[in-house]
Amino acid sequence: MKGAIFTGFAEYVEKEFGLTTWLKTLDSCELASNGEYLSTELYEDVEFKVLADTLGTIIGVDREYLFRGFGEYFFPVLMSLGLPHVKEINNLFDFMRAVDSVIHIEVQKSDPLAYTPTLLYDQPHDNVLIIRYISHRQMCHFAEGLILGAAAHFQQKAHIYQTKCLCKGDEHCLIRVEI
């Protein structure tokens, strides 16, 4: 996983829960990186989950809550990186479809080692988009947070829930987004 995710998570934790909580989290973990991250480097995925689980224990919330909150916080950062490719989009659903067909392709062009999830879409109604999320990383709750961040960006109210989830043993996630 890219170090930018780790540095973004550190910023999120410091902003939401305080620097002391972040330092306590780092002190409570045995990490290969020793908690020192460079945004351009790659780190083991498991290290991110260890950080989130340790933080969750310290503050009394689950990983899903933290991932969702971090995704919502981190969306503006990611949007600023991908803006030239999606600047003409003006609504949540068109943006969501562009994530896999435009943004992930551009990410892989700029970094061939980058791993992005597979996203497949179905739109059974004008106000409903169902996303099949496939990833060995099981970061679907982070994806939910990114969707909520995107909805805020496009000034659309979105309700999200999952009917299937990798974290619960399903072979993929089904994320239903209603606006």
Domain ranges, ordered by start, for the chain: 3-61, 81-178
Per-residue pLDDT reduced to its tens digit, 137-148: 999 999 999 999
Q: What is the pTM of this model?
A: 0.92
pLDDT (0 to 100) of residue 133: 95
82 confidence band (pLDDT: 50, 70, 90)? low
Adjacent-strand bridge partners of 96 = none
Bridge partners of 118?
134
Tens of pLDDT, residues 93-129: 999 998 888 888 877 887 887 888 999 999 999 999 9
Q: Cα-flanking dihedrals φ and ψ of residue 32, to 5°?
A: -60, -35
Domain with residues 81-178, CATH architecture:
Alpha-Beta Complex (3.90)
pLDDT at residue 84 tops 80: no
Q: What is the pLDDT of residue 112?
A: 81
Residue 47's pLDDT is 94
Query: Which ranges of 113-164 would DSSP assign to H, the alpha helix?
Result: 140-153
Using DSSP's 3-state secondary structure scheme, residue 162 falls into strand
